[in-house]
Amino acid sequence: MTTPQNGTGEGRILVVGSVNVDLVLAVPRHPEPGETLLGTGSRRSPGGKGANQACAAARLGGDVRFAGRTGTGPDADLALDLLRQAGADLSATTEVPDVETGLAVVTVDEAGENSIVILAGANGTWSPEHLEDLRGEVAASDLVVSQGEIPAPAVDQLARFCAESGTRFLLNLAPVIDVDERTLATADPLVVNESEGRLALAALTGAEAPDDDATTVQQLRRAGVSSVVMTRGAQGAIVSDEAATIDVSSPSVVAVDTTGAGDAFVGALALGLARGERLRHACRRAVRVGAFAVTRHGAQHSYPDVGDELPAS
């Protein structure tokens, strides 16, 4: 059942999550274990799943407030630069003294596929107590978004606030962390990729998840998750709610860098849901936004603005 909302009714989004600097290394291919490989380039840019998702929604015209935690110094400025340019409200973002801003080391091969290692830095300092200042903002929002790049107790507290206020909660369980079962039940939707979906199902049921993606999605819903979106890269997504379980296909594009594309999807999905769209309709636009993002380099740099033409489905 869709969660009742007590927000503004105008599409106000609160994103609570991670903010990083991405160190992106271009490589001809991903190295084998123990292998030294010569890279072909590098760059530093804003990242973090929370900041990425907030930036994607803001660039598409969303009313977005981002609550994150950074260290001090120039990395914090870089990490928040594109969010500021996109018009996101950063008044709930905090500098943490004596802690580094989160760092993600991303390697991208010539086919556009990436692998990522994350150092949490200030993102790891989130605690349930830090959420207290956001209780009112949760109640005033039409949608709250979070991810698995901040500690599970903070995500659990955020989910409790959403349940108490009747605010819809989108949880992107990436990476999979040990959140409470009630948090998964509050998620509407739970957004996962194929492997994350299987891990979430195993955590909920204690049983081995099936190989079939659609069956995994349906079993997640039977285990108590209100709605599920499973992203599948170029194959699009599986969407399941009380109405039906359907496939949403992705446009065919030539990918140059998949970094942050899933976050572009989530940001666009959040925007549609906050504005009152049905899950399947919001997902159809979100796959087009994700497809747009893979045709450009970087994470936030690759996201479309309001006037950009999205690939046709």
Largest CA distance in the chain: 54
- Mean pLDDT over residues 280-305, rounded? 94
Delimit the domains of the chain by residue range.
12-18+49-92+123-302
Q: From CA 237, how far away is CA 239, in angstroms rounded?
A: 6
pLDDT tens by residue, 182-223: 999 999 999 999 999 999 999 999 888 888 999 999 999 999
- Report whether 170 contacts 143 (CB < 8 A): yes
Helices 194-205 and 213-222 cross at an angle (nearest 10°) of 40
Give the pLDDT score at 225: 96
Question: Which is more confident, 286 or 74?
Answer: 286
Straight-line distance from the first to the last Cα atom of the chain, in angstroms, rounded to the nearest whole number: 28
- Mean pLDDT over residues 267-282, rounded? 97
pLDDT tens by residue, 1-33: 344 444 455 699 999 999 999 898 999 999 999
Q: Is 138 left (phi over 0), alpha (psi -120 to 50) or beta?
A: alpha
Find, among 68, 70, 69, 62, the residue nearest to 87 by Cα: 62
pLDDT tens by residue, 181-191: 999 999 999 99
Please give the radius of gyration of the chain, using alpha carbons only, rounded to the nearest integer.
18
Find, among 202, 208, 200, the residue nearest to 183 by Cα: 200
What CATH homologous superfamily does 12-18+49-92+123-302 map to? Answer: Ribokinase (3.40.1190.20)
- Report whether 102 contacts 121 (CB < 8 A): yes
- Report whether 19 contacts 80 (CB < 8 A): yes
- Mean pLDDT over residues 120-126, rounded? 96
For the annotated catalytic residues, the residue numbers are 263
Residue at token pair 């509050």: 186
Please say if the pLDDT value at position 152 is more than 80: yes
